[in-house]
Structure 1
Amino acid sequence: MHRRELLKKLALAAPAAWLPGVVAGLNWSPLAPAGERTASGNFRPTWESLAQYQTPDWFRDAKFGMWAHWGPQCQPEYGDWYAREMYMEGHDKYNFHVQKYGHPSKFGFKDVINEWKAEAWQPDELVGFYQKAGAKYFVALANHHDNFDLYNSTHQPWNATRLGPKKDLVGGWAKAAKKHGLRFGVSVHAAHTWSWLEPSRRADKAGPLAGVPYDGHMTAADGAGKWWQGYDPQALYAQNHPLSENSLDNGAIHKQWNWGNGAAVPSREYCEKFFNRTVELLDKYEPDLVYFDDTALPLWPVSDVGLRIAAHMYNANAKRHGGRNEAVINGKILDEQQRKCMVWDIERGQSNQIEPLPWQTCTCLGDWHYDRRIYDRHGYKSAKSVVHTLIDVVSKNGNLLLNVPVRGNGSIDEQERAVVEGIAAWMQANGESIYGTRPWKIFGEGPAQASAPGLSAQGFNEGKGKPFGPQDIRFVTKDKVLYATALGWPADGQLLIAALAAGSPHYPQRVGRVELLGSPGALHFEQTAQGLALTLPAQKPNELAYAFRIMPA
């Protein structure tokens, strides 16, 4: 049998035992699927071909982006992963859901979608606010693990133009980003619905409704006479398949994120639907950045759809930009080969070294989906915390993507606004030490780096190290200027930068002038064998961090 016909026959059968090996070993690209067409160009859907990728300068110069991780799971205002954990009997979100909405056999996540109207959403105002805060790119959630598309999708009937808000949310965000001169990106998470929503098929083990299945088992036939008549819940929940191993263990999914360790392998139909939805998203809204919440690429290694999407993104983007690839794809937990193919994203964490290739950390003021409890306890990150993260990440060749949680109605609260305004004030005075910079010979000095924790899985070392102080300094360079930013203000007004000592191998020339951004005039300094000793002004220019412009003699 011809190899192409053999692969087609095997793919239709798609037994879990062979599929990863076929994809990984042969770098196969099956027959073009019915649906979205892919762009031709220099990139092919193989890791080897994608390795020719070069991170565009716009991303390297931008340094700071804002993200609206906003969808129907924000409607309850009860935190991240609501659509999964509301189906876990005894879980905090389950108890909240039963009290607020009713039992998940009667009021499931599909019904939460119906409650969501986004009535206060003003994308132009929000994106303009973020642009004034110093963001150079804006990313909008296109779908989450809940499988609900937030755009005009012809491949997923469960989408925001037909249900819930009945608005093209991605379209609105894209229009606002263009108006305010920001690069536009989308985040795509729906590859994991297959296993992520398995709890929707459970039933209570105790209580008056013990044994009554939750709504994850429902089909279109169950919708007769209901608000969702004509919509198949399985197109949303994707649960017509065998359960993953240890599915009743709520934590097992974290070990199965890359489709190993007993995860139920998605069907070819599911994979191709994801492919078509994503390619349509990229073609309709033309983002320059797509963030995948996946190990490497979506559905890898059980399917090659992620490779095909990446090749299409790069090829189509280059055609739009006159042959110059301006695209960025973010992926997580990348090996060395994969980091050549896209931009590595670290979730809620930082690298502890200057990375040879540009990367990004993503983090959030609170929880990824809006959680009213964080507001009530005044638990958001401070502007100081965000700025320190930005300075540290940029010194190591990275960018910061910051999510400001959006309420179910589409607004952000006044505590979040105050944090963003604090960031804006610092960026207006100190932005030159961030934008367009490149790493120096070392990223920094000071006691915090000696106890910096390592990465765990996707990242998750944020906030685990020693707090930054005046002796913690981070370096970047631009043209002939060196920027040294102190992450605290010394009580005695004297700052010593050891890396700039006379005769230092890092800075062999003599320092000629030092200025403190946001403060007038030059500073008095001495360059000794111990370091560059600065005498600071009596008045601090801000309360967050202190960037020094250092020029050679």
Structure 2
Amino acid sequence: MKTVTKSILFGMSLSLCLNMYSFGQEEFLSPIGPNNEPQHTGKFEPNWESLSQYNTPEWFRDAKFGIWAHWGPQCQPGQGDWYARNMYDEGSKTYNWHVDNYGHPSEAGFMEVIRSWKAERWDPEKLVALYKKAGAQYFFAMANHHDNLDLWDSEHHEWNSVSVGPKRNIILEWANAAKANKLPLGLSVHSAHAWRWYESSQLADENGPFKGVPYDGNLKKEDGKGKWWEGLDPQNLYAQNHKLSEGSEDINKIHSQWDWENGAEVPSVEYSENFYNRSIDLINKFNPDLLYFDDTGLPLYPISDAGLKIAAHFYNSNMANNDGKLEAVLFGKILSESQKEALVWDVERGAPAELQQKPWQTCTCIGNWHYSEDVYNQDRYKSANDVIHMLVDVVSKNGNLLLNVPIKGDGSIDDKEIQIVENIGKWMEINKESIFSTRPWEVFGEGPSVEIKNPINAQGFNEGKMKFTEKDIRFNQKGKLLYATILGLPSETVQIKSLGSRASGFGKIKKVELLGSSEKVKWKISDNMLSIEPPADFPNDIALVYKIQRK
């Protein structure tokens, strides 16, 4: 394939770029030089063609359900998502709250939020044990967010949780808790976008007494003399030693520039190399089983080869740690079909409408990604019913569910969240055999929701636009067993049309059981359907699972 030149690259749409970049040699605006963290060499090389040798490990296909601690300094204010960006949006709710509680962002920027974050009630082993009891088969921790604070003893970034804030090695403690609970460890990395995401910290108020006074994203190391952050360089946190992207004064403009297009200021080589070195350091220190990037394809792609090199290093080092067998899982968003050969597709807050041939994952949250007091006070958490219905739907389509339970800044979860997690666990205790180690059936489901058009938007974002009912059924299988899950409590005879004697490739049915119930199931088969009478007593109030055995 021909090399794509720099001048052509930014004249093309992102989708075209992704298609052209499927395989072959590429030219990058910010290539990673040789004098950085060394690559672990092996089977995989840093290009899409080599990475496409990847096969999803069976352990991940069996696991189905993980819980995520999407936790960092932006949880400290309790004001929800993207705090470190939105606090610089003059007149916004977040800005006003920050001024009232910390001060004006020219004098008290996000650095002060980091300083106030102490994690004083955090007990990682207790939390991970709770998640495991709820049925989690792997655990994820956030290693950094767009706020650019590394949550470990980072070798390449002075702004880390060991040197500031809680002054604890957050990732090490999470890793130890996962190990103690015998759960695979996942780490999520989001900081590739800090360059563009933090541009709001370069701005200034347009009105009022601070009109024209620059926010603290303009501070330099020398400005810290005599202050608590003396010796630290704010530019290493905010990464704002560059001109603003086009339209940066519009807080929402970033969404159209997420993939370094439409007038986005392109990250420098130094920025890309720093991201690369930090990510390699993270992998080398903690040997995660799963690695999640909040990026289209791979981080900094297509302007840099950083993501490709990190991916190859991750796969090769994982093989070296597993006697030559690849057990790693690496996620990417908005993947082309060829990229799905190299990575596991992650869908944020949503699910595809159809059964997928390759394993995939949806990531979602019971509330906001970062802890929000408003969500708690207004009772806006997803219920255990919502989570289980989503899990069953996702598993029926060959997917896994990664669920974030928001953590307060102090490291605790609230009483409502505890109840939700415990209720998930109660359903799992009865019905887990219908989830873990299963595989999709010939059809994923039937019922009204199957007929509804609910397309994915960008990364996903199509959850909650339809409600499952007792008429919706989802299937998955294990050997000679088929599990049919009713997404509700049936008030009348359950009619499973996919299991009529003429319609089904399942074979003749030998036995039908209801998980969690000793009551004999009343059922009959006809040409057009399998009919099942509801039980006298429901074993749970979320979703009934019928275990169907063929002869």
Give the match for residue 306 of structure 1.
307
Local SS of the residue matching 1:134 = coil
1:191-340 correspondence runs (5 A): 191-340=192-341
Is 1:377 matched with 2:375?
no
**Correspondence for 1:3:** none
Deviation readout 1:259-283 (Å, 9 max, x if unpaired): 1111110000000000000000011
1:485 matched residue in structure 2: 485
| Offset at residue 16 of structure 1 (A) | 7.5
SS of the aligned residue for 1:187 comes to strand
The residue that corresponds to 2:125 in the other structure is 124
Indicate whether 1:98 and 2:96 are aligned: no
Secondary structure of 1:442's counterpart equals coil
Q: How far off is 1:117 after superposition?
A: 0.4
Q: Is the 8 A contact 2:66 2:138 kept in 1?
A: yes
Q: Which amino acid aligns with 1:320?
A: N
Q: How far apart are the structure 2 equivalents of 1:310 and 1:286?
A: 13
**Residue identity opposite 1:516 in structure 2:** L
Give secondary structure in 2 for the equivalent of 1:198.
helix
Could you report, residue by residue, the CA deviation over 1:134-156 in whole angstroms, capped at 9, with x for unpaired residues? 00000000000000000110100
Please list the CA deviations of residues 253-307 of structure 1 after superposition, one character each: whole Å capped at 9, or x if unmatched: 1111111111110000000000000000011011010110001100000001000
TM-score by length of 2: 0.95
Contact 1:158/1:236, CA 8 A, preserved across alignment: yes
**Aligned partners of 2:11 and 2:499: how far apart in 1?**
58
Question: Which moved further from structure 2: 523-532 or 271-280?
Answer: 523-532
Uncovered stretches (5+) of structure 1, i.e. residues with no partner = 1-6
Q: Distance in 2 between matches of 1:523 and 1:31?
A: 63
Displacement after TM superposition at 1:17 (Å): 8.2
Deviations 1:452-498 (A, max 9, x none): 41000100000012x11111000000111000000012213x21111
Aligned position for 2:509: 511
Q: Tell me by how many angstroms 1:175 deviates.
A: 0.4
Aligned partner of 1:415 in structure 2 is 416
CA distance in 1, matches of 2:393, 2:237: 40
Which letter maps to 2:124?
A: P
Letter in 2 for 1:477: Q
Mapped to 1, the partners of 2:174 and 2:238 lie a distance apart of 26
Amino acid at match of 1:219: K
Paired residues of 1:16 and 1:265 also in contact (CA < 8 A): no
Out of 434-443 and 251-260, give the one that drifted further.
251-260
The amino acid of 1:539's aligned partner reads: D
Amino acid paired to 1:534: I
CA distance in structure 2 between the aligned counterparts of 1:153 and 1:250, rounded to whole angstroms? 30
Worse-superposed segment, 26-35 or 448-457:
26-35
Indicate yes or no: 2:499 matched with 1:500.
Answer: yes
Q: Per the alignment, in what secondary structure is the counterpart of residue 141 of structure 1?
A: strand
Pairing 1:137-156 to 2, within 5 Å after superposition: 137-156=138-157
Matched positions, count = 540
Could you tell me whether the CA contact under 8 Å between 1:513 and 1:522 is conserved in 2?
no
Q: Which amino acid aligns with 1:495?
A: V
Alpha-carbon deviations, 1:339-363, whole Å to 9, x = none?
1111000000011111010000000
| Cα distance in 1, alignment partners of residues 315 and 86 from structure 2 | 36
For 2:275 and 2:190, locate their aligned partners in 1 and report how far apart those are by CA, in whole Å: 10
Paired with 1:422 and 1:47, the residues of 2 have a C-alpha distance of: 42
Kindly state the Cα deviation for residue 164 of structure 1 after the two structures are TM-superposed.
Answer: 0.2
Shift of 1:26: 2.6
Q: Which whole-Å CA distance do the structure 2 matches of 1:505 and 1:487 have between them? A: 21
* Counterpart code for 2:513: E
Shift of 1:35: 3.3
Provide the C-alpha distance between the structure 2 equivalents of 1:204 and 1:27, rounded to a whole number of angstroms: 42
Map of 1:60-139 to 2, 5 A cutoff? Answer: 60-139=61-140
Percent same amino acid at aligned positions? 53
- Equivalent position amino acid for 2:319 in 1: A
Aligned-partner residue type, residue 510 of structure 2: G
Distance 1:31 1:301, change over 3 A: closer
Deviations 1:366-413 (A, max 9, x none): 000000111111111000000000000000000000000000000000
Task: Provide the residue aligned with 2:527 in structure 1.
Answer: 529
- Partner SS for 1:483: strand
| Alpha-carbon distance between aligned partners in 1 of 2:252 and 2:79, rounded to the nearest angstrom | 20
After superposition, the C-alpha distances for 1:64-117 in whole angstroms (9 at most, x for unaligned) are 000000000000000010000000001110011111111000100011100000
Please state if 1:475 is matched with 2:475: yes
2:168 maps to a residue whose letter is K
Amino acid at match of 1:486: I
Deviating more after overlay: 515-524 vs 26-35:
26-35
- Kept in 1, the 8 Å contact 2:32–2:305? The answer is no
Deviation of 1:32 after TM superposition, in Å, equals 4.9
CA separation of 1:219 and 1:75: change in aligned 2, threshold 3 A: same
After the TM superposition, which residues 176-191 of structure 1 pair with which residues of structure 2 at under 5 Å, given as runs? 176-191=177-192
In the aligned structure 2, how far is the partner of 1:214 from the partner of 1:201?
Answer: 6
Contact kept, 8 Å, 2:10 with 2:261, in 1: the verdict is no
3-state DSSP class of the match of 2:388? helix
Aligned residue in 2 for 1:348: 349
1:249 alignment partner AA: D
- What is the Cα-based RMSD across aligned positions, in Å? 2.0
Deviation readout 1:497-530 (Å, 9 max, x if unpaired) = 11101122433x2111000000015412100123
Matches within 5 A, 1:28-39: 32-39=33-40
Instruction: Report if aligned partners of 2:154, 2:282 keep a CA contact under 8 Å in 1.
Output: yes
Q: CA deviation at 1:31?
A: 6.8
Cα deviation digits, residues 13-56 of structure 1 (max 9, x gap)? xx9789x9899573369675323111011000000110010001
Instruction: Give the TM-score of the pair, scaled to structure 1.
Output: 0.95
Structure 2 residue identity aligned to 1:471: K
Distance in 2 between residues matched to 1:368 and 1:496, nearest whole Å: 38
